[in-house]
Amino acid sequence: MKPYPMKQPAIILAALLCAGLMPQSAGISAQGAERGGETTAACADEAVSPAPASSWIPEWFPKAPVLPPSTGTVIRVSTVEELLAAVDRVQQDGTILLAEGHYRLPRVLVLQQKKNIMLRSASGDPARTILSGKGWDSQAGGDDILHIAHCEGVTIANLSFTDCRSYGIKVQAENAPKDIHIYNCRFRDIGVRAIKGSAAQDPNVRAVKGSVRFCVFENTRVPPADWLFGGDYIAAIDMMALDDWTFSDNLFRNIRGRNGGGCAAIFIWVRSRGVVVERNYILDCDRGVAFGNPGQSTANLSGEPLVYVADGIIRNNFIAGGPDCGIELWYADRIKVQHNTIWRPEQNWRRGIRIGTGTAHTEVVNNLVHGEILLEGGEADLSHNLTGRLDRSCVDPASGNLALTSAATRAIDQAVPLPDVTEDIRRRSRAQRPDVGAWEFEAGDPSAAGAVPVTSLANASVRYTVPDKPYVLLKHSGLEVVVVDNRAVDDAVLPGHRAGYHGIASLRHVQQPRNLFVPAYAGLNFEHIHDGTLKPREVLFEPRHAPMELRVLNDHTAELYQAPTPYWGLESCMRYELLDDGVVELTFECVPRRDTFTNSYMGLFWASYIDQPESLDIHFRGFAEGAQAQAGWLRGVTPAHGTWATHRSQDDQREFAHDSTFPLELPFGFSRLRYVEPWYFGVCRGMAFVQMFRAQDIVRLTQSPSGGGSGCPAWDFQWFIEKPRTGQRYQLVMRVAYVPVKGPGDAASVRDPIARWVPRWQPR
């Protein structure tokens, strides 16, 4: 939408919303700029119990910028009586600043004839400043909390609205309000509409320029059957007669009617125009987003052309679950529906996007819909949408995590570039070949799995000690593991261990006391960083040589931290943790600190040097390219270093540019074998060494017959991070199991038990 002039204090909010500055936490419990500065010790009529943590809100979801301190006249309130009085007397450019507390309102707060005012909490934390009505169960007519009538430049920020029978906030379009902004507020258990926008029949009067941003809407209750429409008359946002409004970066959950027929989480209609709905996260609501509906309103003027919404945009939204539909358009004109991700449950599965009666001149482009797009009397141009049964395309649809997985090959790089959609739901830049849906896939991105920081690289709560020696001995569940940094060691524990090799220098089992790995080298050794370009050997082997710090967390967990490396500038931390059943978990986290990757990817490589096994080969389940047979057991055999060395997954069609003179032979020495399950094993001295990965990491399995010397193979793996972003944390999780077996790797007595064990061990 076009920028528009605003005056203080609303101009401050508009500037922040455009710049996306100063992030705080998920719009729920952020600490505002005024905590400690303007907070008063006085409380409202009841002490606040902070709301429980909203664990359903993903870590990656855009955070609300913190508002600057209030300017102009500030009226501080800490009781209901003071609040009611302040609403009446606040003047132009003034702020009503609410102390923490629970304000139980006996009547509606009405803002009338106000200009450039703010109503906000002093703390900046909506969970600690709560406004409530007479109660969900009160049956009180007109039990609303706040009305905004003929006003200009009103900002409502950092407050919770809860427990009222009718409306949380009512914006009266019939009174022509302008520049109304609702920001970082929380709405919980509002009986009819959390935000209502009313209208009259004058076609020339609207609510002009406004926004609802960074708010959270959640209900824990369902209306009873004796409410309107059998308990289905409920919505989060239901607004009419809007002009130039934006609804962005909001979260909605469980906005449901008694029979599954509630209105949409965001429902816009009746002479609205220029409305943008973007980057919202809608989970388990009866409907997702609706522009218009099949029926009529009392605000419709008799005989007027029925156009509920014109010149609107719905883009980059996640909509998961809900019994009715994802997006619906009725009597809508010139609408753009772009890059949304919708996951329909089995109930009304086909109703992904409904193009209803009266809809025309509409574009539906680049949407990912687990369901269908239905033309129900309307017209639309459909292009580059992905529909149908899309199992395995999203990380966890049941929880609302619609991030793309590596299996979403029909979505990744398959969208048509749109000049007005340059970012995804997280505001990350889209590639030249963008992905279908709201999410732009990046291999290794922890936000795709909702991963929280684990290692001491990014988790400040991790406590550790740094030992004097360059190694530590860990023991657990029959395993004895020596984790070493990349310094040389020559003592009774690690005789002749060479500098540069780090990770697990020694791996022993109670039933096999001999070290699995070549004593001078190591296993799970972080070997290479590259981008496919010709570089000196010391740059390609930088993890071997850049200093590391060994950090010991407890008697079964240690980490290797490496500061940003001299050339690549990659900061990283590897955690080695001994689990039960002879399993070791490796969690690798890294942050690129400089933009040094020429080909827009970062290739990372780990090596494990096996000491004189009976067989050099590895074993996994898959198929040979071009073969007609179904997937089965394969034996990876490489006759020479770099020949048939790397085995890709069945879905891995990625191509990484590399120089013809690129000196590393293993990364791009592909075999014709494809794996169908992300794990493999080899056998050495009656023990199986099983390496297991997460499917979403799209790891490539690599082997060399002589990486550790004659008769000493390297059983390796690679991980590629596409379009690495400076300052972004990336995470890989893999596990190894070291377990006794009886027989060679190609024996059914070995393969079948391992195949049964892997589902229990494999990382998620």
Query: Beta strands 251-253 and 557-562: pairing type?
Result: unpaired
**58 confidence band (pLDDT: 50, 70, 90):** confident
User: Cβ-count burial of 200 within 10 angstroms (0-12 exposed, 13-18 middle, 19+ buried)?
Assistant: middle
**What secondary structure, in 3-state letters, does 371-386 show?**
EEEEEEECCCEEECCE
pLDDT bin (cut points 50, 70, 90) of residue 450 is: low
| 663 and 534 Cβ atoms separated by less than 8 Å | yes
CA distances from 140 to 135, 160, 167, 193, 602 (A): 8, 20, 12, 15, 61
According to the model, what pLDDT value does residue 169 have? 98
Would you say residue 628 has pLDDT above 90? Answer: no
pLDDT classification of 51: cutoffs 50, 70, 90: very low
**CA dist., res. 531 & res. 657, Å (int):** 8
* pLDDT for residue 38 is more than 50: no
Is the distance from CB of 457 to CB of 471 less than 8 angstroms? no
Give the pLDDT confidence of 488-545 residue by residue, as tens digits.
Answer: 999 999 999 999 999 999 999 999 999 999 999 999 999 999 999 999 999 999 999 9
H or E element, residue 220 = none
Is the pLDDT higher at 630 or at 354? Answer: 354
User: Is residue 246 a contact partner of residue 2, using CB atoms and an 8 Å limit?
Assistant: no
CA separation for the pair 598, 615 (Å, rounded): 39
Q: What percentage of the chain reaches a pLDDT higher than 70?
A: 92
CB 530 within 8 Å of CB 507: no
Confidence label for 32 from pLDDT (cuts 50, 70 and 90): very low
Structure-block tokens of residue 390: 């899309």
* Contacts (Cβ under 8 Å, ≥6 apart) of 246: 1, 210, 211, 212, 213, 275, 276, 277, 278
Sort strands 570-578 and 479-484 into parallel, antiparallel or unpaired. Answer: unpaired
Instruction: Show the DSSP H helices in 38-134 as ranges.
Output: 80-89
Mean pLDDT value of segment 141-162: 96
* Max intra-chain CA distance, the chain: 94
Kindly report, residue by residue over 95-109, the tens digit of the pLDDT.
Answer: 999 999 999 999 999
Whole-angstrom Cα distance, residue 681 to residue 699? Answer: 15
Q: Is the omega angle on the peptide bond into residue 9 within 30 degrees of 0, that is, cis?
A: yes
Mean pLDDT across 603-613: 98
Q: How many CB atoms lie within 10 A of CB 441?
A: 24
State the Cα–Cα distance between residues 388 and 385, nearest whole angstrom. 10
Taking the C-alpha atoms of residue 310 and residue 245, their distance in angstroms, rounded to an integer, is 12
Query: How far, in Å, CA of 222 to CA of 647, rounded?
Result: 52
**pLDDT value, residue 139:** 83
b/e for 498-507, b at 16 or more Cβ within 10 A?
Answer: beebbbbbbb
As a whole number, mean pLDDT of residues 650-673 equals 95
Determine the Cα–Cα distance for residues 361 and 409; give it in Å rounded to an integer. 31
- Angstrom distance (rounded) from CA 502 to CA 521: 8
**Pairing between β-strand 368-370 and β-strand 336-338 as defined by DSSP bridges:** unpaired
If we measure between CA atoms, which residue out of 3, 576, 556 comes closest to residue 244? 3
**Distance of alpha carbon 709 from alpha carbon 724, whole angstroms:** 34
The closest alpha carbon to 271, from 335, 211, 204, belongs to 204
Model confidence band, residue 448 (pLDDT cutoffs 50, 70, 90): low
Least Cα distance to 698 among 674, 671, 715 occurs for 674
Residue 431, pLDDT score = 87
* Beta strands 351-356; 372-376: pairing state: parallel
Q: Is the pLDDT of residue 757 over 70?
A: yes
Distance between CA atoms of residues 309 and 329, nearest Å:
9
Spatial separation of the C-alpha atoms in residues 16 and 213, rounded to whole Å: 11
485 CB burial (10 A radius; 0-12, 13-18, 19+): buried
Stretch (H or E) spanning 753: helix 748-761
Task: Give pLDDT, residue 392.
Answer: 85
With CA atoms as reference, report the closest residue to 702 among 671, 677, 740: 671
CA atoms within 13 A on the CB side of 614: 11
* pLDDT above 90: residue 222: yes
pLDDT, residue 54, reads: 60
Over 60: is that where the pLDDT of 40 sits? no
Question: At residue 483, does pLDDT exceed 50?
Answer: yes
Q: How confident is the model at residue 731 (pLDDT cuts 50, 70, 90)?
A: very high
Give the model's confidence band at 59: pLDDT under 50 very low, under 70 low, under 90 confident, else very high: confident
DSSP strand E in 270-320: where? Answer: 272-278, 281-283, 287-291, 309-310, 313-315, 318-320
Terminal-to-terminal C-alpha distance of the chain: 42
* Tokens 């019939």 -> residue: 174
Better-scored residue on pLDDT, 288 or 446: 288
Q: Which of the residue ranges 197-201, 336-340, 680-684, 760-764 would you say has the lowest mean pLDDT?
A: 760-764
Number of H helices, E strands in the chain: 6, 55
| H/E run at residue 539 | helix 537-540
- 43, pLDDT greater than 60: no
Beta pairing, strands 557-562 & 549-554: antiparallel
For residue 417, pLDDT beyond 70: yes
Measuring CA to CA, how many Å separate 680 from each of 363, 424, 698, 737, 750? 46, 35, 14, 11, 12
pLDDT digits (tens, 9 = 90+) for 324-342: 999 999 999 999 999 999 9
Vertex 181: Cα angle to 179 and 186 (nearest 5): 165
CA distance 760 to 548: 33
Query: How confident is the model over 379-402, as pLDDT tens digits?
Result: 999 999 999 999 889 988 988 999
Rg (CA), the chain: 30
| Mean pLDDT along residues 51-59 | 66
What per-residue confidence (pLDDT) applies to 629?
63
Q: Are 494 and 488 in contact (CB under 8 A)?
A: no
Averaged pLDDT, 266-284: 97
pLDDT of 451 > 80? The answer is: no
pLDDT band at 696 (very low <50, low <70, confident <90, very high): confident
Six token digits for residue 452: 């929280």
Which of the residue ranges 91-105, 472-486, 662-676, 721-735 would you say has the lowest mean pLDDT? 721-735
Q: Please give the structure tokens belonging to residue 626.
A: 């071009």
pTM of the model: 0.70
Please list, in sequence order, all residues whose beta carbon lies within 8 angstroms of the beta carbon of residue 298, skipping any fewer than 6 positions away. none
Cα separation, 242 vs 250, in Å, equals 18
In 3-state terms, what secondary structure has residue 448?
helix
- Give residue 626's pLDDT band: very low, low, confident or very high (50, 70, 90): confident
Averaged confidence pLDDT in the chain: 90
Closest to 252 (Cα-Cα) out of 239, 241, 240, 263: 263
What is the per-residue pLDDT for 298?
79
pLDDT, position 296: 83
In which band, very low, low, confident or very high, does the pLDDT at 447 lie, cut at 50, 70 and 90?
Answer: low
Segment 156-199, tens digit of pLDDT: 999 999 999 999 999 999 999 999 999 999 999 999 999 999 99
**Residue 7: predicted pLDDT:** 35
CA-to-CA distance for 397 and 346, rounded, in angstroms? 12
pLDDT (average), residues 230-258: 97
| Residue 678, CA atoms < 13 Å, CB-side half-sphere | 24
